[in-house]
Amino acid sequence: MSDKIQVAIKVRPLVTREKDVGEFWRVDGNALYPLNIDKQPSGEIFAYDHVFANNSTNMEVFEKVVKPLVNRAVKGFNATIFAYGQTSSGKTHTMLGDQNEAGITQLAVSSMFDFMKRLNLKDETGKVID
Ligand SMILES: Nc1ncnc2c1ncn2[C@@H]1O[C@H](COP(=O)(O)OP(=O)(O)OP(=O)(O)O)[C@@H](O)[C@H]1O
Ligand SMILES: [Mg+2]
């Protein structure tokens, strides 16, 4: 994993009110392109470090983008992950999840606790802390 700032896009599924008009973006690898009113590619293309399509899960985002940073953070490197986007674009769903899937914050914290567990840290009596 490189040290440069990485930008990942997560496309969310359409919500009910958007279903009549449909998608106006297509994902192509690590790029996105907008469609015009006739649903044809408009000619523009926007590339990022990662693009997650609308069927991607928070776990996939975690594995690809977050876990490498957690693995470095537990070795003492600073890392920040934040979600940016217009209202209703899916920031809260990605960061915190919902009743069906955990968000990347929860997955990151769990992964840090798993890491600490594997260290077999001991209390002052020498007993391994669970
Ligand atoms: N991956 C997903 N799967 C299913 N529904 C999703 C997904 N991502 C977002 N949504 C739904 O889309 C809607 C908007 O998402 P969310 O509330 O996360 O947006 P937001 O960017 O946090 O908005 P705001 O800026 O208003 O806080 C919600 O109804 C959410 O449940
Ligand atoms: Mg929100």
User: What does the pLDDT look like over 75-91, one tens digit per residue?
Assistant: 899 999 999 999 999 99
With beta carbons less than 8 A apart as the criterion, state whether 103 and 97 touch: yes
**Between these two residues, 121 and 47, which has the higher pLDDT value?**
47
- Residue 70 bridge partners (DSSP): none
Selection from 62, 50, 39 nearest residue 11 by Cα: 50
Rounded percentage of the chain residues whose pLDDT exceeds 70: 98
Q: State the pLDDT at residue 121.
A: 83
Mean pLDDT over each residue of the chain, to the nearest integer: 94
The CATH superfamily holding the domain 8-118 is: Kinesin motor domain (3.40.850.10)
User: What does the pLDDT look like over 58-71, one tens digit per residue?
Assistant: 999 999 999 999 99
Q: State the pLDDT at residue 130.
A: 76
List, as residue ranges, the binding site for ATP: 85-92
Q: Any idea where the domains of the chain sit in the sequence?
A: 8-118
Average the pLDDT over 23-51 and give the result.
Answer: 96
With beta carbons less than 8 A apart as the criterion, state whether 91 and 85 touch: yes
The rounded Cα 68 to chain-centroid distance in angstroms is 12
Q: State the pLDDT at residue 117.
A: 87
Q: State the pLDDT at residue 2.
A: 57
The residues whose Cβ lies within 5 A of ligand 2, an ion, are 91-92
Measured in Å, residue 112 CA sits from the centre of ligand 1 at 26
Beta-carbon count within 10 A of 124 CB: 5
Nearest ligand by distance to the CA of 12: 1
Q: Which residue puts its alpha carbon closest to atom 10 of ligand 1?
A: 90
Q: Which residue puts its alpha carbon closest to atom 24 of ligand 1?
A: 87
Its sign, for the CA torsion 52, 45, 47, 9, is: negative
Rounded percentage of the chain residues whose pLDDT exceeds 90: 85
User: What does the pLDDT look like over 102-130, one tens digit per residue?
Assistant: 999 999 999 999 998 888 888 899 888 87
